[in-house]
Amino acid sequence: MIKKKIIVQNPLGLHARPSSLLVKLANQFRSDFYIRKDDMTINGKSIMGVMMLAAECMSEIELIIDGVDEEYLLQEVEKLFAERFGE
Amino acid sequence: MKELSINDFFDLCKQRFVLSIITDSLSTDKKIVEPHIHRPGLALSGFFDRFPNQRIQLLGETEISYLQSLPEDVLYDRLEEMMTMNIPCFVVSKGLSVPSQMDFIANEKSIPIIVSRLSTEKLYWGLSRFLRDYFSPDQSVHGTLVEVFGVGVMLTGRSGIGKSECALELIERKHRLITDDVVRLKQQDDKLFGFSTKDIGHFMEIRGVGIIDVERMFGIEAIRKESRVDIQVELMPWRENMDYERIGLTNQHTEHLGMEIPCIYLPVSPGKNVSVIIEVIAMNHILKTYGYDGAEAMQRKLAEEMQQKTRQRTINTQNN
């Protein structure tokens, strides 16, 4: 299991479009993927959950990944966040 | 290009426009090839430039009284010149009688003269509509058309995916079947309409059962003869890692007869209740046409929340 904290950097936060990109990416992997923000933990493969986090710009979220391809998934997710979801 | 023989035209319109034929017979190979009607006032007065001779020539009271006012020799010349131009037929309104010379030349050139009891105005609009419907472009599509909450939903997808079964479930839920398996699409008034290719009733094939008669089984309220096609739902097998729409902020479209309609790609898997989803699609379509988009509304609310939090964050950091 990997836990990693990450800061949301795109100006509009995790709104609909970035959420769907994140979920689409996560669904390509076999590992379980959870995201925690404050006291809320949601399944990172479900779009409603991710959107409900309403993670704004500069907020901190924790990625919790568990499974055979956890490292690859983390790598790809970090890449997506670093690219600020292309925004 | 479509065409309509005078015989077919007469048979199709006889009742609707109270038609009778006054020339000797209908044995003519004349065909209507244009969905327009012409009132040949100028041609009757001798101006034949740009005369649209392929159109139905409609004679009302004005034209007939003009003809009656002409000296006989002029009348004969004009009508003969006009009828050498291969016109499909004359239609006379109000049950008016035509000058006897006209009858004579028409028989000679075997151009039918058809008389209607309707007024010129009614006949003009009625015929225009009839011809427009007849000549409007059409196309057949493999699919099933159902009307769900008044929304015309065309189900498509490969054979055996469950279009008919889904339609059957919708009928059970009090929606209406227009046609199964083949939908004939027509474009009218910038809208897309769909109906059955044959008017033989509402039959449907259910795998493992065979042919059933939907009207007999579910009653008259379960069927319709035609409906607008508002939205297309393409049923497709569920595949892992396939990009399905998750939010609904981007709307996909498909094109039939040059008309764009929204298209939804719906993955189906065993045990999934597709008919309920079709109902939801129909209701969502109604909401969207009324100006409410659920995906957008949620997106807006989230954006507001995040903006507020961002503001709070800046204030907090400034205070620190």
- Residue ranges per domain, chain A? 2-86
Name the DSSP letter for residue B223: B
A15: annotated active-site residue:
yes
* pLDDT at position B27: 62
Looking at residues B210-238, what average pLDDT do you find? 94
Q: Which residues contact A51 (CB under 8 A, 6 or more apart)?
A: A14, A15, A16, A19, B298, B302
Q: Which of A48, A51, A56 to mutate to test the interface with B (most CBs of B within 10 A)?
A: A56
pLDDT in tens, B149-199: 999 999 999 988 989 999 999 999 999 999 999 999 998 888 999 999 888
pLDDT in tens, B29-63: 788 998 999 999 999 998 999 999 999 999 999 99
Token pair of B277, please?
Answer: 């989803």
Q: Which residues contact B160 (CB under 8 A, 6 or more apart)?
A: B207
Strands B56-59 and B90-92: parallel
A2-86 is classed CATH 3.40.50.10860: no
Phi and psi at residue B256, to the nearest 5°: -135, 130
* B138-289 CATH, one of 3.30.365.10, 3.40.50.10860, 3.30.300.20, 3.40.50.300: 3.40.50.300
B320 in reach of chain A (CB within 8 A)? no
**Residues B120-150: b if buried by 16+ CB within 10 A, e if exposed:** beebbeebeebbeebbeebeebebbbbbbee
B50 in reach of chain A (CB within 8 A)? no
Contact B309 A59 (CB under 8 A): yes
CA distance B75 to B67: 7
Q: Which residue has the tokens 């039918």?
A: B112
**Chain A to chain B, count of Cβ pairs less than 8 Å apart?**
48
* pLDDT at position B25: 67
CA distance A38 to B2: 69
pLDDT in tens, A28-75: 899 999 999 988 899 999 988 898 888 998 899 999 999 999 999 999
Contact A13 B310 (CB under 8 A): yes
Q: What proportion of chain B, given as a percentage, has pLDDT over 70?
A: 98
CA distance A54 to A47: 12
Q: End-to-end CA distance of chain B, in Å? A: 79
CA distance B316 to B254: 50
Alpha helix (H) residue ranges in A1-87: 16-26, 47-53, 70-82
B76-80, B116-120, B241-245: segment of lowest average pLDDT: B241-245
pLDDT in tens, A41-54: 999 999 888 988 88
B72-77 LR contacts (CB < 8 Å, sep 24+)? B72/B101, B75/B99, B75/B101, B75/B102, B76/B101, B76/B105
B295 in reach of chain A (CB within 8 A)? yes
8 Å CB contact between A57 and A13: yes
Nearest CA among A23, A30, A31 for reference residue A1: A31
A54 in reach of chain B (CB within 8 A)? yes
Superfamily for B4-135? HprK N-terminal domain-like (3.40.1390.20)
Strands A2-7 and B144-148: unpaired
Predicted-complex ipTM score: 0.78
Give the nearest partner residue to A47 out of B243, B247, B309, using CB atoms: B247
**Shortest alpha-carbon distance between residue B258 and chain A (Å):** 31
Contact A16 B299 (CB under 8 A): yes
Question: Domain coordinates of chain B in residue numbers?
Answer: 4-135, 138-289
Token pair of B312, please?
Answer: 């709070």
Q: Is the pLDDT of residue B245 over 90?
A: no
Show residues of chain A in contact with B241, CB under 8 Å: 27-28
